[in-house]
Structure 1
Amino acid sequence: MLQSKHEESSTMASSIHSRRLKYLSLGVLVLQTTSLVLTLRYSRTLKEDAPRYLASSAVVSAEVIKIVVCTLLVFMENDFSARAMSKLLEEEIVRKPLESMKLAIPAGIYTLQNNLLYVALSNLDAATYQVTYQLKILTTALFSVSMLGKRLGSYQWLSLLFLMAGVTLVQWPMPTGGDSEQKVLSASNQFVGLMAVLMACISSGFAGVYFEKILKETKQSLWFRNIQLGLFGFVFGTLGMMAYDGERVTQSGMFQGYNKITCTVVLLQALGGLVIAMVIKYADNILKGFASSLSIITSSLISYFLLEDFNPTGVFFTGAALVIAATLLYSYERKPTSGSTVKV
């Protein structure tokens, strides 16, 4: 009897702890996503006499920070034992090179995605980017069906239709004043930003599902897999930086144009990888849906009131509302009726 009560109390305490971690991950995800989008947008549009920092350099710096943090977390998981840490690295990396190479694919795609994020936010306002980027729900769903064999319910497919309609309305051309040259420039920037977001959505969907597939087939911790992912990301990021910005790096160094804002962007981007890992571990789809929706609303309000680079219209609000509704609807999970199971 006493043992039963003790087990019940332990289970209740574990449930409360898990619930707290879920809401903590929700809050951190909303804060990180909103802060990164707005800070990055500000850093790419800030006019200064000094040269602008290299986006490729910021991506590499963020990978280094993620590797260091994840290494410390894995070290902590191994009771701060240098011998255990060394043995783990030898067994999982040196003796299993093919297993490690599997992570080269998502690492390369994530590196591309991170660079596309800078391109998109250099050409789009923060609110439009946030809403359009929710197309990654569609790409993730399609890749999940094709690669993981997941089955989507009617609510999920309906939400994808809402999503497409919402993004179409958000991208609907708005009447602008000024000369024709300014209009052409604005349209050109909008097109470049839109293409960057669409490519980022495709890469995000594929890389996310691929990484999930690897995690389900492994016994290693999420932090250790992030170390392997970060190592490949660092290599690909460095190669990309030297290929596209090698001359500028040689002339003025990798950290040219860095300031407090740039360092904040790098830290937020590095935090993003850790936050996603925490969300995967502790949160559920409903909480992730709320996080995306809250982030869109917050980014739009701050972009309008503080950055003053966004003038919303009724069409935009309608599209944003549809995207938010789609996000929540996609995250909705029907409770199975007696004798049946609904798989989402």
Structure 2
Amino acid sequence: MSSTRLKYVSLGVLVFQTTSLVLTMRYSRTLQGEGPRYLASSAVVSAELLKILTCVLLVYKDHMAVVFSAGFSIRALNNVLTQEIINKPMDTLKLAIPSGIYTLQNNLLYVALSNLDAATYQVTYQLKILTTALFSVSMLGRRLGVYQWLSLLILMAGVALVQWPSDSSQAHEQLTTGSQFVGLMAVLVACCSSGFAGVYFEKILKETKQSVWVRNIQLGVFGLVFGLMGVFVYDGNRVREYGMFQGYNHLTWTVVALQALGGLVIAAVIKYADNILKGFATSLSIILSTLISYFWLQDFEPTSVFFLGAVLVIAATFLYGYEGKPSVNLSRA
């Protein structure tokens, strides 16, 4: 497949994953059905488990070439994982911090989409560009160009306009099924955690030679532990009463799969997409989320102020990638 075609395939994958995850998660958290609704903490644990299994298969795939030389088997795969994870405890323990933050972030996204419509969430969540840039400057010593600093100012202005109270605020409260303030706080904390964990993870990747799949296995193991702790601390009574997988259906498993596999897919294809295509992907995702949220989910009432803010956020996304210096780590975003 040519590099040009791969770029557009990457664009399609980015748009599909970003849009479908937000919309299905929002729909699953607002859908009224019989019986208890699935636990967000349980869904996070399921996603981490699926991610670990997927990364193990990818590690196996990376070593398949050995089949034709020394012979590769499940025992060989176990030796690779043991050597890279168990026999390097200090390298593995470094992943505990970003893993715990990612687990918190994944739970916050469920809280945010339980209280915000998909369009508002998509635009506001772009503040992770700001937090990632600031952590890149402070932790990695990167220097931002004039266009990037300008884009961050435009980004903040755009998000402020999206959150600006309007005459339709009361109508919006009737359409949505939660507190907009709670949703906004969840998104802001998620943006901060995403920025810090992404830069921290990038720093670790640059300091070691382990593959990104092995690193994601390490993240997933810690994420599984932290996630289970969250399940039994916050939802222990409900788990004992209705079970770990209460309220699960086909839609729930779709959300779990998109959350588990989405970041890995993006990590695999992002090298083919330049900053302009990333901007297109973000812009198309915002537009699609807005249209579907309004016409299908019917939980969003657009205003001129919202559209102005969304346009500013989209413009800031393009402007930030203009110089191509620092890249936002999307391997777990």
- TM-score if structure 2 supplies the norm length? 0.91
Structure 1's 91 and 277: CA in aligned 2 closer, same or farther, altered over 3 A? same
1:259 counterpart (232, 249, 254): 249
Aligned to 2:48: 63
Distance 1:292 1:39 in 2: 17
Distance 1:23 1:184 in 2: 39
Aligned to 1:10: none
Structure 1 gap segments, 5+ residues each:
1-15, 335-341
Higher Rg of the two aligned structures: 1
Distance 1:230 1:183 in 2: 37
Deviation at 1:273, TM superposition (A): 2.1
Spell out the pairing of 1:1-344 with structure 2 (5 A cutoff): 17-79=2-64, 80-176=72-168, 189-333=179-323
Structure 1's 42 and 184: CA in aligned 2 closer, same or farther, altered over 3 A? closer
1:304 aligned counterpart, secondary structure = helix
- Percent identity among equivalent residues? 73
* Equivalent residue pairs, number: 320
Which has the larger displacement, 288-297 or 305-314?
288-297
2:210 aligned counterpart, secondary structure = coil
Deviation at 1:178, TM superposition (A): 6.4
User: Could you tell me which amino acid in structure 2 is paired with residue 72 of structure 1?
Assistant: L
Deviation at 1:218, TM superposition (A): 1.5
Question: Is the Cα contact below 8 Å between 2:98 and 2:201 reproduced in 1?
Answer: yes
The CA deviation string for residues 15-49 of structure 1, in whole angstroms up to 9 with x for no partner, is x6444433322211110110010111111111112
Question: Is the Cα contact below 8 Å between 1:131 and 1:170 reproduced in 2?
Answer: yes
Question: Is the Cα contact below 8 Å between 1:125 and 1:303 reproduced in 2?
Answer: yes
Structural RMSD (CA): 2.2
Structure 2 gap segments, 5+ residues each:
65-71, 328-333
Deviation at 1:185, TM superposition (A): 11
- TM-score if structure 1 supplies the norm length? 0.88
Distance 1:343 1:161 in 2: 17
Deviation at 1:89, TM superposition (A): 1.6
The CA deviation string for residues 126-147 of structure 1, in whole angstroms up to 9 with x for no partner, is 0000000000000000001111
Question: Is the Cα contact below 8 Å between 1:25 and 1:278 reproduced in 2?
Answer: no
1:53 aligned counterpart, secondary structure = coil
